[in-house]
Amino acid sequence: MDEALLRSLTPAVLGILVRRGADFAAAEDAVQDALVEAIRVWPADPPRDPKGWLVTAAWRKFLDATRAETARRRREDLIDAEPEAGPAQDTDDTLQLYFLCAHPSLTPSSAVALTLRAVGGLTTRQIAQAYLVPEATMAQRISRAKKTVGAVRFDQPGDVATVLRVLYLVFNEGYSGDVDLAAEAIRLTRQLATAIDHPEVSGLLALMLLHHARRAGRTAADGSLVALAEQDRGKWDTRLIAEGVEILQAALAQDRLGEFQAQAAIAALHADAPRAEETDWVQIVEWYDELAALTDSPIVRLNRAVAVAEADGPRAGLKALAELDDSLPRYTAVAAYLHERDGDDQTAARLYVEAAGKASNLAEREYLTRQAARLNRKSPPHP
Amino acid sequence: MAKYLLLKHYRGAPSPVNDVPMDQWTEDEITAHVQYMNDFADRLRNTGEFVDERALAQEGTWVRYDGEGRPPVTDGPFAETKDLIAGWMIIDVDSYERAVELAGELSAAPGKDGKPIHEWLELRPFYGHAPTITE
């Protein structure tokens, strides 16, 4: 059975139910039930018109569910009112769904869960597994999210930036359990890009593709992290890189720069270097300057310090670093790296150990500990 | 979207404010305490922030490898251990601030005279995923 097709139909089917007068929460439940039934029935009995099948099944689920609470007359009105939805409306519906599921009244975790279910067509169980929480907890999170956006009118225009932040969060969660969240984020961003022409949507899509292209090179066989400079660039997916670069160039040509386009430009410059030593660090620093002007994020200035070190030498990098708050996440890790580049192995080793203690994930802690161990063997600390 | 462990200790944590041991409470006070803990967990299930909750028995044994072909060495029960973990709750929340807020509420469970225990809880973040985008 084509699960990708099934899931790609989800937002359009949901949109049709809402346009027929179902409220969002009930319609979303009905579509989820129809998806579960499709997964059960389709392998043995594939429908000729998958979308029509889903609409019919979801509408029946909706009517069954509302039978108890809705007066018979109201139900008959709804059945009489069934309009046929055209393709143009599908696109609008899909876009409205993205806006609704990323509504600013939702917390990030609720917006992510609702987007993956209502737009992505994932089951509650799959989402729960991906985020390592019990299914009941995820069901509750989704149900509360739907209540929160219950009063939002479906035709209200939303803010693309909030949608992009949600998709970025999904992408950055990576891969855990049965669901490849990075691939799912790319699929959802592609779908969004067909529903709306916006340079930052393209920028985010390009950013995702350019990072996804490096996935095979980012971890060693034992699962440990491989630093960008050490990665086997032969493992990078050149087709994804080419696609990312093309999408980015088209976005930049619109001359409406945003943070995702700037981040994608940096990723593209890395992807463009056949060897780490050939990286155009001067241009990367310029893009970090653009990015810092757009976001004023201290994390951006931290990454900029690394780029400055590569472009103008470790001393310049350390000088840029000294202007930042040393309580920033990964500050100590960056300091360790720059001291190593500056030839001060002992300071670097000490800082790597300190940074390992502050790491926010196991892979990073192991990576930093390895760096300390390597330097300690090379130049043992004074007694 | 970060997981935290709320760790409750039998011993080892600093003394709570309302420091009367449970065996000196009235039965109603014990019931109220247990009810508070259950209600707290239910509330987190309802908000979609609950992950897990477990209580540990006070009995325990130390175990250690003792070389090829030998059975492991055991020691205990460890009556002398200064720090004894009583149990935990795992939550999945949007921010550190929310985790602190919830731990504070759990620490307010009623004890003797129905007054909050002000018990010290240990709040520990779990390691998350390595993010895909770092540069």
pLDDT tens-digit series, residues B36-84: 999 999 999 999 999 999 998 888 888 999 999 999 998 877 666 667 8
Q: How confident is the prediction for chain A on average, in pLDDT?
A: 91
Contacts of B94 in chain A (CB under 8 A): 107-109
Asked whether B107 and B121 are in contact (CB, 8 A), the reply is yes
H or E element at residue B3 = strand B2-11
Contact in structure between A363 and A225 (CB atoms under 8 Å): yes
Whole-angstrom CA distances from B48 to A262, B42, B51 are: 35, 10, 9
Integer Cα distance of A196 and A198 in angstroms: 6
Mutate to test the interface with A, among B126, B132, B134 (most CBs of A within 10 A): B132
Q: Calculate how close chain B gets to A137, using CA atoms only, in Å.
A: 4
Q: Which of A110, A168, A173 sits opposite B129 (nearest CB)?
A: A173
CATH number of the domain bearing residue B95 = 3.30.70.1060
Q: Can you tell me the distance from the alpha carbon of A94 to that of A120, in angstroms, rounded to the nearest whole number?
A: 11
With CA atoms as reference, report the closest residue to B49 among B3, B6, B7, B88: B3
What are A150-166's pLDDT values in tens digits? Answer: 888 777 778 999 999 99
pLDDT of residue A35: 93
Cβ <8 Å between B135 and A270: yes
What is residue B129's three-state secondary structure?
coil
Using CA atoms, how far apart are residues A335 and A312, in angstroms rounded to an integer? 16
Residues 5-44 of B with CB under 8 A from A: none
Mean pLDDT of A106-125: 95
Cis amide linkage into residue A43, ω under 30° from 0: no
The full length of chain B comes to 135
Q: Rounded to whole angstroms, how far apart are CA atoms A35 and A6?
A: 7
Facing residues of A105 across strands? none
**Is B120 near chain A, with CB under 8 Å?**
no
CB A181 within 8 A of CB A172: no
φ, ψ of residue B11 in degrees (nearest 5) = -140, 160
How many whole angstroms separate alpha carbon A217 and alpha carbon B131? 15
User: Which chain B residues are Cβ-neighbours of A360 within 8 angstroms?
Assistant: 125, 127-128
Closest chain B residue by Cα to residue A107? B94
Angle between helix A3-19 and A87-101 (nearest 10): 90
Count of A-B CB contacts under 8 Å = 88
- Of these ranges, A82-96, A173-187, B47-61, the one predicted with the greatest mean pLDDT is B47-61
| Residue showing tokens 């404010």 | B17
Q: Given an 8 Å threshold on Cβ–Cβ distance, is B1 in contact with A108?
A: yes
Burial of B23 (0-12, 13-18, 19+ CB in 10 A): exposed
**Is the residue at B76 inside a domain?**
no
B48:A137 CB<8 A: yes
CA atoms within 13 A on the CB side of A291: 26
Residue A24: partners with Cβ closer than 8 Å, 6 or more residues away? A18, A100, A146, A149, A150, A154
B chain contacts of residue A108, beta-carbon cutoff 8 Å: 1, 94
Q: Is the pLDDT of residue A70 over 70?
A: no
Contact A131 B1 (CB under 8 A): yes
Inter-CA distances, A159 with A10, A166, B79, Å: 22, 12, 60
A125, A135 Cβ separation under 8 angstroms: yes
B101 lies in some domain? yes
Give chain A's end-to-end CA distance (angstroms, integer).
66
Chain A residue with the nearest C-alpha to that of B49: A137
Quote the percentage of chain A above a pLDDT of 70: 93
User: Distance (Å, rounded) from C-alpha A199 to C-alpha A205?
Assistant: 10
Tell me how far apart the alpha carbons of residues A196 and A157 are, in angstroms, rounded to a whole number.
12
Helix (H) or strand (E) holding B84: strand B84-93
Both structure tokens of A357: 């203690």
Nearest CA in chain B to A267: B135
Question: Which of A137, A164, A176, A259 is the best mutation test for B, with the most CBs of B within 10 A?
Answer: A137
Say if residues B90 and B4 touch (Cβ distance below 8 Å).
yes
Distance between CA atoms of residues B4 and B124, nearest Å: 6
Domain count, chain B: 1
Tens digit of pLDDT for each residue in B84-108? 888 999 999 999 999 999 999 999 9
* Interface residue B53 vs chain A (CB under 8 A): no
Q: Answer yes or no: do A182 and B125 touch at CB < 8 A.
A: no
Residue A296 is predicted with a pLDDT of 84
Distance linking the first and last C-alpha atoms of chain B:
21
Q: What are A346-370's pLDDT values in tens digits?
A: 999 999 999 999 998 988 999 999 9
The residue of chain A nearest to residue B134, with distances taken between CA atoms, is A303
pTM of this structure: 0.89
> Cα–Cα distance between A23 and A19 in angstroms, integer?
9
Domain span at residue B37 reads 2-57+86-125
B47 inside 8 A of chain A by CB = yes
Query: Cα Rg for chain A, rounded, in angstroms?
Result: 24
Predicted pLDDT of residue B105: 96
Do A174 and B133 make contact, defined as CB atoms within 8 angstroms?
no
The per-residue pLDDT for B80 is: 61
Say how far residue A354 (Cα) sits from the centre of its chain: 30
What residues of B are in contact with residue A211 (Cβ under 8 Å)?
132-133
Residue B43 with chain A: CB contacts under 8 Å: none
Q: CB-CB: which of A168, A303, A364 is closest to B135?
A: A303
Residue given tokens 């090829």 in the structure block = B68
Residue of B nearest to A218 (CA): B132
The interface predicted TM-score of the complex, written ipTM, equals 0.85
The proportion of chain A whose per-residue pLDDT surpasses 90, expressed as a percent, equals 78
Instruction: Tell me, yes or no, if B71 comes closer than 8 A to chain A by beta carbon.
Output: no
- Which residues in chain B have Cβ-Cβ distances shorter than 8 Å to A291? none
Task: Report the amino acid identity of residue A34.
Answer: A
E strand spans, A251-350: none
Taking CB atoms and an 8 Å limit, are A112 and B50 in contact across chains?
Answer: no
* pLDDT-based confidence at residue A178 (cuts at 50, 70, 90): confident
Question: How high is the pLDDT of residue B57?
Answer: 85
Q: Residue A72 is encoded by which pair of tokens?
A: 């018979």
Does residue B64 belong to any structural domain of this protein?
Answer: no
Interchain proximity A172–B133, CB inside 8 Å: yes
Contact (CB, 8 A) for A225 and A370: no
Look at residue B79 and tell me if it is in a domain.
no
pLDDT at B114: 92
pLDDT tens digits, one per residue of A371-381: 999 999 987 77
**What is the distance between the alpha carbons of residues A141 and A111, in angstroms, rounded to a whole number?**
9
Structural domain contains residue B113: yes
Residue B45 and residue A137: Cβ atoms within 8 Å? yes
Q: What is the pLDDT averaged over residues B29-37? A: 93
